[in-house]
Amino acid sequence: MMLVCDRRVYDEWVKKRKEASGLYGRSFPFYYIFGEIYGKGHPIGANVGNADDDEEEIRRDDANIDQTLCEDNNFDENVNMNVDKNMESEFDDESKVMEEVRKGFGSMAAFIETMSSKIDVLIKILSPDKKMGELQAKLDGELSKIEGLTGLQVFQATNILATNHDLLRVFFIIFDERKKIYVTNLLEYGL
């Protein structure tokens, strides 16, 4: 939801409330939630109703119609008049409720979409780190399998490969027969 108003109205509002500066044209996803909590129907000064209030109002209207029909002698005239009013009122109340539900689902969908993109980014960030951690954990074991390397050489190769992720990936991609040549070359000539 984005609050939209004339720029002049906004500027006047900001003159009285400095904390509102910088909010013009910004999206405000919690508008409807705060509206339910703090909202008032400004034209009448009453609290804004919710779906439960609307349902209670419909029940009261139905009860009033039943009572009116029983008390009145002009039965046919009142039936037509009250049913028409009740149907209009019911339709308006239902449309208000449905509009609120639609707005709520729209807000929820936007929130979920935002969260899914953030989760995707987080997965992309953490996945390589997890893979690198797994490769680094296997590194000492793989280097120890190579015949002809001393303990010191295994230690030095571990330090080189663990700190350079590209070299570590290459080490695990090449065939076992070539790993000894790769490691001795790294130890002899460096990066």
pLDDT tens per residue across span 112-171: 777 777 776 666 665 566 777 788 888 888 898 999 889 899 889 988 888 888 898 899
25: phi > 0 → left, psi -120 to 50 → alpha, else beta; which? left
Domain contains 140: no
Q: For position 138, what pLDDT does the model report?
A: 86
Residues 76 and 119 placed together within one structural domain of the fold: yes
Note whether residue 116 is domain-resident.
yes
Whether residue 106 sits in one domain with residue 41: no
More confident residue, 46 or 139: 139
How many CA atoms lie within 13 Å of 30's alpha carbon, on the beta-carbon side? 3
pLDDT in tens, 67-104: 555 555 555 555 455 545 555 566 667 778 788 888 88
Indicate the range of 43-57, 108-122, 156-170, 177-191 predicted with least confidence: 43-57
The boundaries of the domain holding residue 78 are: 49-127
